[in-house]
Amino acid sequence: MGLRIGALIVDCTDPGRLARFWAEALDWVISRDVDPEWVVEPPEGSREDCVVADLLFIKVPEPRSGKNRLHLDLRPEDQQAEVARLEALGATRADVGQREDDPWIVMADPEGNEFCVQNAHPPTVRAEWLRRYEAYRSTSGP
């Protein structure tokens, strides 16, 4: 049996605020909401459940400084609509030196952690990914 990543840890000054942002952004659920640690995870039974690592937000006294060493890439069906939705949730566009013609949009969450919003996968790539995922699910169980 392979090793599974249980959680990605995010240090932050306000774990509740950041957990609520990411839960809404990803359409996930908050499964722990007690300072100093909040957890956001995929909904039970979703495609991401037991596959994607949870996000664990831990309260630290100091604000973020410097460049992210790890960031999330989101790949929605409609990049522009998703950027607008994320901005309404409190995200901002970020400049990390990207080129104007890059196909992704760099954004920052409410504490300044950068993430990217990619273009949608072409239909053939998405179909192949779904085929592989369903094949995996049928052999590994729920």
In the chain, what are the domain boundaries? 7-140
Backbone angles phi, psi at 94, to 5 degrees: -125, 145
The model's pTM is 0.84
Element of type H or E holding 82: helix 79-89
Residue 14 to residues 87, 112, 131: CA-CA distances in angstroms? 19, 12, 39
pLDDT digits (tens, 9 = 90+) for 56-110: 999 999 988 888 888 999 999 899 999 999 999 999 999 998 898 889 999 999 9
C-beta of residue 57 within 8 angstroms of C-beta of residue 67: no
Quickly state the pLDDT bin for 141 (edges 50, 70, 90). low
Domain boundaries 7-140, CATH class: alpha beta
Tally of residues, the chain: 142
